[in-house]
Structure 1
Amino acid sequence: MEENDFSDCNDLSDSDSECDGQDWDEIEEQRVSMTKAFDWFDSREEGDCPQPGGRLQMDKLPLYFGAQLTYGESMVLIMAFILSHHLTSSAVVDILTLIGLHTQMDSLFCTSKYLFDKFFNIKNLTFPIKRHHFCTACLQSISRDDTTCKKCGGNLKSSKSTFYFLEMSIVSQLQAMFRRKDFYQAILKQRRRNKKSPGAIEDLCDGSVYRNIPELEDPRNISFLMNTDGIKVFHSSNYGLWPIYLSLNELPFSMRTRRENMVFAGLWFGEMKPVMGIFLPPVAQSIQALQHGFEVKPPDMEAFQCKAYLVASTCDLQAKALVMEMVAHNGYYGCPKCLKEGSHDARRHQYPNNSDGSHDPLRTHMETLAHASEAHHTGRTGRQKSTVYGIKGPSWLTIAPKFDIIRGMTIDYMHGTLLGITKALMTLWFKSDRDAPYHSSEYRAWLLYYSLPIMQFFLPTEHFENYSLLVNAIHILLGESITEEQLCAADDKLKQFVEGFQRLYGSFRVSLNIHSLIHYAQTVRELGPLWAHSCFFFEDVNGQVLRLIHGTQAVEEQVLRAVAILQKFMELGEERFKPGTASKKLYDRLSSVLPTPEERSNFQGIGGGCFAVGSLTEQTRNAHGVFSRLTKCHLDAVMATLDFPPERLMTYQRYM
């Protein structure tokens, strides 16, 4: 070990005394250093920083004499393994114990989950946090030390009489990101990317909303896509989290979707949904201030002023209604894109097409502000509070510079098309009235095979052709390069689908998700392909945060720690390992982005963008000449295609 590794240890005797082959002085040195290290480590207050030349820096100590890893490297590698393999809390305890059993008794290795967690708590994995306290009874802003509410006079001494939410510094997080190696270079490279077709829409930055903001032509400036949604933490209670995320549109898509590159702007927690009138203002005001610029300093570059703007927001229908201060999807004028009133019948709200084939007027930003002002004025004059064309009042997002409350609100195809329309159609096809012409009983076949190749055999021709319009249009709008001609074709297909859906399944089934399809093409024209602004990657980060919550106490503090680890873990890892070492290679592999199908060893290209998953396996015949490992439905599918029994059959696990 290097001499300075133990520079703060007590002086030890230079004499050696060996017994039974053991160097007891070395063992004693390890024991003394271990005791001093743990004493320092356990007594250190969170947020303290070691003084130069002062306390022992435990993370730089080798685990034991001759070990390949320092204590810090060991902790970081284990955390990388936990994050990579999504380990539960009990699995973390087990793996710490298992590794501890493989190390010598005098090792510094930490088998305590408490100390393991504490290591990351004191590694400056934090960012500035502000707590906003309120009176539960009247939602009045209060000081943390107030004992009586100045508005309603309520007693604030009870824990249930007050609540708070958290605001995280956006600027601090952005400055930390720009300090990372190659972060800003990735932004510059993305700005200079070669498009497949000059006039096509290939990302959010190609949409008209982004291109209409002159400030974003400056390569020093950036923009955000915002997301917020509720996350249920425990199955046994209604306790939930509402984080606010900001992703950077100028990063390559593979980078902007990574956990460490997302800004965590705010967190509401508890058993009630957020009151956006008090939750959004601090975040919106912080975003508003970013237009004036803040200093960033990329590695090996001069510092410069960066400005940031909110361009788009993506949410499911419930969260969107809260953010926009409008009625929910089951109310009159519930469409965020147009002024269609809809009707209420059969215990549901529907948005059937107009009988004359016309479409209702589109909402605009300025008109929506006027509707919000009118609704707000009605409430202040003491009359019964009402909505104006579905708008309840002003949304705080409208104070964000350049943000268009209508054009900037995306339609999320994950919730709308996949979890909404597709699920509804499957319910109609597989669980509805068996006498209906579109009913099918082959639910298992649907699970095993793709919808179009299979449903052509079970749906009536008219229903299948109508469904094909939806599939083809969504396929176009998820493309990597979408031309105006393709946009028009997709728009036409979706409008035909909605019209046909109403005719085939009934106008009372035309939900807001179905109606919203007529706005998909324009949304892509304004904000880029559907994949560029979907909720998929935000949902993934939510899942990663949840996996780092263990226990029911101080959940919000656990979330802060989880987000800090997800954001700054790469930065911590880069500081720990020397290039070219085995530990660095393992760290890179554990913390790397999921590879594309072309890069995965268990994926094999079979042409046309299709990949077979798993090893190619030959199916053998039994004594009766039958492929015994194939299920009957698999064999029937093969026979229906070939019309003769194959001599040799090779299979993959699945394909995509």
Structure 2
Amino acid sequence: MYKKLCEPGEPLSDPKNVSVTINTDGLALGESSTQAAWPLFMDINELSPQTRKKYLIYAGMWVGRKQPNMNIFLKPFVNDLKKLANDGFAWKDSNGVEQRSKVIPILAVLDSGAQYKFLNLTSFSGYMGCTFCYQRAENTQRGRRFTVCKEPAALRTQESMLVDVQIAHERRNNRNTKERVYRGCKGLTPLVYLHPYLNLGSGVVVDFMHNALLGVTRAHVFALLNTAGAPYYLGDPEKSYVMNQRLMQIRPPRSITRTPRELTHIQKYTADITGKRYSFHVQCNQSILIGKSTTHHLSAEDLECLRILGVDFLEETVYSYSRMVDRKVRLTTKGYSEGKKNDDSWVKTGDGRRGFIKPITTF
């Protein structure tokens, strides 16, 4: 979308025009407060990431006990943004010459809870609650879920979303409330008036934090650490001790503000910590249990990501402790107290040997 808008004759081909990304999310005003605030911001995409954070545009605020009615909240904002996109605003340069710049909205970065409200769709727990495709959810033993389908579902596009909005808007007075919803669309959203700049299908970014970091990644980590008796279980004391030793030896760069924490605090891991799980996997788990047991439920993309990071996969067997010692580390015969004093990691190898591994080894 951005490249297309930068082509000759398009709005962003003029260097005086800028594009923006819309962002909003709810936050509690206090631990005991019943009030919540929804600030509305815009990022100027043409600025560098560092400068962009410094010069956020504050565009609105909703405060109340209930979540905002997006049609009311967004209407004045969309009206002003539409004028900025079509007519622009005037300003004078250093020579006193009047210039005119346009502001083009091209993206909306929202979490899963705000996406369906922005687009006026049914929630992600609804039958057609996906904001990116038309897959229908099914009722399972664990509740309503998007199950694996044989054929990929059709994607939501700008054209299909405009049709859905129109049909749902025509059904708004239907006595049966369920029949008012058409393919997950509940009715009109003010964002349609930002057409053709903001694409309702591809202009809303995937919620990576909740879907990937706090969703799939968190579930994967918990499966490895909490499913006692499974062939891929890593939560027994011996393996946990080794992983904690390696985890606490990681020294991230200054750009990573949160340092690694022990696995005993995993329930308090936030998204940025959970997101480092693949790097932790390579640093802490590779030589303990990497192979068929830990990879049978990963996608091809996940496996390729781990291969790029340097994980050595085995075809048929898991990485035993004996192979770890033979291929990755040096097993010492120091006494237990001496090894503990040097903060080395204690292991029991697959062939019954016991000893310590040197933490200076790169995994």
Is contact 2:345-2:359 (8 Å) kept? no
Q: Which residue of 2 aligns with 1:384?
A: 177
User: 2:80 and 2:152 mapped to 1: Cα distance?
Assistant: 38
Query: Which letter does structure 2 place at the counterpart of 1:338?
Result: C
Query: Which letter does structure 2 place at the counterpart of 1:452?
Result: V
Per-residue CA deviation, residues 279-334 of structure 1 (Å, 9 max, x unaligned), is 11011111111020101235566331000111000111111011011111121112
Relative contact order (alpha carbons < 8 A, sep ≥ 6): 1 or 2 greater? 1
| Of 230, 248, 259, the match for 1:436 | 230
Is contact 2:344-2:359 (8 Å) kept? no
Q: Which residue of 1 aligns with 2:358?
A: 638
Query: Which letter does structure 2 place at the counterpart of 1:422?
Result: T
| Of 280, 296, 303, the match for 2:98 | 303
- Taking only the aligned residue pairs, the percentage that are identical comes to 23
User: 1:336 and 1:435 mapped to 2: Cα distance?
Assistant: 38
Q: Which residue of 2 aligns with 1:215?
A: 11
Helix, strand or coil at the partner of 1:380:
coil
* 1:213 Cα deviation from its structure 2 partner: 8.5
Are 2:144 and 1:360 aligned?
A: no
Q: Which residue of 2 aligns with 1:652?
A: none
Is contact 1:222-1:308 (8 Å) kept? yes
Q: Structure 1's 631 and 296: CA in aligned 2 closer, same or farther, altered over 3 A?
A: farther
User: 2:306 and 2:5 mapped to 1: Cα distance?
Assistant: 23
Bigger share in helix: 1
Q: Structure 1's 395 and 210: CA in aligned 2 closer, same or farther, altered over 3 A?
A: farther
User: 1:362 and 1:429 mapped to 2: Cα distance?
Assistant: 33
Is contact 2:90-2:98 (8 Å) kept? yes
Is contact 1:369-1:394 (8 Å) kept? no
| Of 96, 101, 112, the match for 1:317 | 112
| Of 213, 223, 226, the match for 1:418 | 213
Query: Which letter does structure 2 place at the counterpart of 1:254?
Result: Q
User: 1:225 and 1:475 mapped to 2: Cα distance?
Assistant: 32
Is contact 1:247-1:256 (8 Å) kept? yes
Q: Give the 5 Å matches for 1:54-453.
A: 205-206=2-3, 214-258=10-54, 261-291=55-85, 292-299=87-94, 302-355=97-150, 358-385=151-178, 386-401=180-195, 402-431=197-226, 433-441=227-235, 442=239, 445=243, 448=248, 450-453=280-283
* 1:640 Cα deviation from its structure 2 partner: 8.8
* 1:416 Cα deviation from its structure 2 partner: 2.2
User: 1:640 and 1:631 mapped to 2: Cα distance?
Assistant: 9
Q: Which residue of 2 aligns with 1:114?
A: none
Are 2:348 and 1:628 aligned?
A: no
* 1:466 Cα deviation from its structure 2 partner: 5.1
5+ residue gaps, structure 2: 251-279, 308-336, 348-354
Is contact 1:225-1:249 (8 Å) kept? yes
User: 2:304 and 2:187 mapped to 1: Cα distance?
Assistant: 35
Per-residue CA deviation, residues 54-85 of structure 1 (Å, 9 max, x unaligned), is xxxxxxxxxxxxxxxxxxxxxxxxxxxxxxxx
User: 2:10 and 2:342 mapped to 1: Cα distance?
Assistant: 62
Helix, strand or coil at the partner of 1:227:
strand
Is contact 1:210-1:216 (8 Å) kept? yes
User: 1:228 and 1:392 mapped to 2: Cα distance?
Assistant: 21
Q: Structure 1's 627 and 313: CA in aligned 2 closer, same or farther, altered over 3 A?
A: same
Is contact 1:327-1:391 (8 Å) kept? yes
5+ residue gaps, structure 1: 1-203, 477-623, 643-656
Helix, strand or coil at the partner of 2:108:
strand
Helix, strand or coil at the partner of 1:334:
coil
User: 2:305 and 2:13 mapped to 1: Cα distance?
Assistant: 30
Is contact 1:440-1:459 (8 Å) kept? no
Q: Structure 1's 270 and 354: CA in aligned 2 closer, same or farther, altered over 3 A?
A: same
User: 1:435 and 1:626 mapped to 2: Cα distance?
Assistant: 29
Is contact 1:316-1:412 (8 Å) kept? yes
* 1:209 Cα deviation from its structure 2 partner: 7.0
* 1:234 Cα deviation from its structure 2 partner: 1.0
Helix, strand or coil at the partner of 2:358:
helix
User: 1:347 and 1:411 mapped to 2: Cα distance?
Assistant: 24
Is contact 2:231-2:293 (8 Å) kept? no
* 1:467 Cα deviation from its structure 2 partner: 4.0
Q: TM-score, normalised by structure 2?
A: 0.69
Task: Name the larger-Rg structure.
Answer: 1
Helix, strand or coil at the partner of 1:244:
strand
Q: TM-score, normalised by structure 1?
A: 0.40
Q: Give the 5 Å matches for 1:575-594.
A: none
User: 1:257 and 1:473 mapped to 2: Cα distance?
Assistant: 33
* 1:451 Cα deviation from its structure 2 partner: 1.2
* 1:229 Cα deviation from its structure 2 partner: 0.6
Q: Which residue of 2 aligns with 1:95?
A: none
Q: Which residue of 2 aligns with 1:599?
A: none
Are 2:285 and 1:455 aligned?
A: yes
Is contact 1:229-1:315 (8 Å) kept? yes
User: 1:211 and 1:205 mapped to 2: Cα distance?
Assistant: 9
Per-residue CA deviation, residues 170-224 of structure 1 (Å, 9 max, x unaligned), is xxxxxxxxxxxxxxxxxxxxxxxxxxxxxxxxxx945x57769911111111111
Is contact 1:438-1:460 (8 Å) kept? no
CA RMSD of aligned residues (A): 3.2
User: 1:213 and 1:628 mapped to 2: Cα distance?
Assistant: 70
| Of 295, 310, 320, the match for 1:464 | 295
User: 2:291 and 2:56 mapped to 1: Cα distance?
Assistant: 46
User: 1:364 and 1:633 mapped to 2: Cα distance?
Assistant: 55
Query: Which letter does structure 2 place at the counterpart of 1:359?
Result: P
* 1:252 Cα deviation from its structure 2 partner: 1.6
Is contact 1:209-1:408 (8 Å) kept? no
* 1:453 Cα deviation from its structure 2 partner: 3.8
Query: Which letter does structure 2 place at the counterpart of 1:247?
Result: D
Helix, strand or coil at the partner of 2:58:
strand
Deviates more, 1:338-347 or 1:267-276: 338-347
